[in-house]
Amino acid sequence: MAAKARVDALRAAGREIIDFTLGEPDFPTPPHIIRAGIDALTSGHTRYTGSAGTPALRQAIAAKLLRENQLAYQPGEIVVGGGAKHIIFTAFAATLNEGDEVIVPAPFWVSYPDMVAINGGTAVIAPCDAANGFKLTAAALEGAITPRTRWLVLNTPNNPTGAVYSHDELAALCAVLRMHPHVWIMTDEIYEHFVYGEARHLSPLNVAADLMPRTLVVNGLSKAYAFTGWRVGYGAGPSHLIQAINLLLSQSTTCASAISQAAAVIALDGPQQCVREAAALFQARRDRMVALLNSIDGIQCRTPDGAFYVFPSVAGLIGRTAPDGTVLASDVDVMMYFLEQAGVATIDGTSYGFSPYLRLSFATSMAQIEAGCAALAAAVERCNPSPTHHQEHPHA
């Protein structure tokens, strides 16, 4: 949101900015879902709904979880909110006491630690190695658990790294969790449909069904159906947790938008071709962006297995000098240099708890990807190498 504000301000000042900060699909909601929203308006879905969501939507979510995720939930074990973010926030509000700890693997979606803090908890950041694909290991999880641990937050496919946990990686984490019955799992699967190549999305519950009584599955329609502005997300979990979340929703937002809920039923129950087309589009853009970034001296980019972000290292740019004499000392400096001097907006890894990296979204057109990466390459060429650069990177 802060990056979006920065881009908006520069554009308002007349600058042309290529925006790689987008956290949402760049195409509109599919037409049949828009029609469902219009039909909802004209057919009178304009009143409050039950605070946990309409029966029709909770039924559609239960059917989706069974069909796509092989997870069996009753509608009473499902709660709908104004986005997955709203469900995560409310789940923390419902469960955290002052000082309770939440394990957040880094790099992390920026909102997790702040949502924990706002609700009186303490985020315990568990760094994940780039060499391990930015994924949490069993040993790191074990090391982060204390008697105060309330939740582990897992996000697969991951924002910002695109990491997708495999069956064995999830099984290893679940084996640790099995030894610590007081730790609950919040699994954020909002990017599940955007997995590429051989990668497959799995929920931790697909490998450890026995953990279901202490797992909250979080998901939503925002990414899969280009539905971000409609604001519908949901959680599925044991009924006592769902009731606690619902109690807070009923005294805060009352319910998610009735119109959006009606359209969400059609999105989930209707044809899924639009989701497959979006995934194919993203895969082609991912491949192009990774190739272009890796051709820039000083940037190293892994090919992400999922989501719509790349998370390249900019270690090779640190220490270089910009044409105005500024030394690029951190990924924040690199981000600002690219924004100011290349007209390309990215987000610094520091914001995701992991440096020196940048996050670039490929939820934008191929033309923007080509033009943006060309502008980055030109901006890098205008920098003077750091004195040690060629020794550190003899291949460069």
Is residue 394 exposed (0-12), middle (13-18) or buried (19+ Cβ within 10 Å)?
exposed
For Cα atoms 113, 232, 26, give the angle at the middle one, nearest 5 degrees: 85
304 scored as a contact of ligand PLP (CB under 6 A): no
220 scored as a contact of ligand PLP (CB under 6 A): yes
78-137 positions binding ligand PLP, by CB under 6 A: 83-85, 109
Q: What are phi and psi of 217, to 5 degrees?
A: -85, 125
CB of 85 to ligand PLP, least distance (A): 3
CB of 233 to ligand PLP, least distance (A): 4
DSSP, collapsed to helix, strand or coil, labels residue 290 as: helix
CB of 5 to ligand PLP, least distance (A): 15
CB of 187 to ligand PLP, least distance (A): 11
CB of 202 to ligand PLP, least distance (A): 16
30, 75, 233, 316: which one contacts ligand PLP (CB under 6 A)? Answer: 233
- CB closer to ligand PLP out of 159 and 261: 159
CB of 175 to ligand PLP, least distance (A): 24
222 scored as a contact of ligand PLP (CB under 6 A): yes
Instruction: Find, among 278, 174, 164, 290, the residue nearest to 221 by Cα.
Output: 278
141-160 positions binding ligand PLP, by CB under 6 A: 155, 159
12-51 positions binding ligand PLP, by CB under 6 A: 23
54-83 positions binding ligand PLP, by CB under 6 A: 83
346 scored as a contact of ligand PLP (CB under 6 A): no
Contact 311, 351 (CB under 8 A): no
Residue nearest to ligand PLP (CB): 83
Q: Could you tell me what percentage of the chain is helix, strand and coil, using 3-state DSSP and rounding each to the nearest 5?
A: 45, 15, 40
Instruction: Find, among 343, 353, 324, 266, the residue nearest to 43 by Cα.
Output: 266
CB neighbour burial string for 331-361, b if at least 16 within 10 angstroms, e if fewer: bbbbbbbbbebbbbbbbbbebbbbbbbbbbb
Distance CA(211)–CA(190), nearest Å, equals 20
Contact 107, 134 (CB under 8 A): yes
Distance CA(351)–CA(161), nearest Å, equals 13
CB of 108 to ligand PLP, least distance (A): 9
- CB closer to ligand PLP out of 235 and 343: 235
Binding mask 158-197 for ligand PLP (x = CB under 6 A): -x----------------------------x-x-------
Number of residues that bind ligand PLP (CB under 6 A): 13
Q: With CB under 6 A as the contact rule, which of the stretches 220-228, 245-253, 328-336, 352-360 interacts with ligand PLP?
A: 220-228
CB of 295 to ligand PLP, least distance (A): 28
CB neighbour burial string for 208-219, b if at least 16 within 10 angstroms, e if fewer: beebbebbbbbb
59, 122, 206, 228: which one contacts ligand PLP (CB under 6 A)? Answer: 228
- CB closer to ligand PLP out of 26 and 142: 26
Distance CA(187)–CA(287), nearest Å, equals 27
CB of 208 to ligand PLP, least distance (A): 21
| Encoded amino acid at 282, one letter | F
355 scored as a contact of ligand PLP (CB under 6 A): no
DSSP 29-76: PPHHHHHHHHHHHHTT--S---TT--HHHHHHHHHHHHHHH-----GG
- CB closer to ligand PLP out of 19 and 188: 188
Q: What is the total residue count of the chain?
A: 396
Q: Which residues bind ligand PLP (CB under 6 A)?
A: 23, 83-85, 109, 155, 159, 188, 190, 220, 222, 228, 233
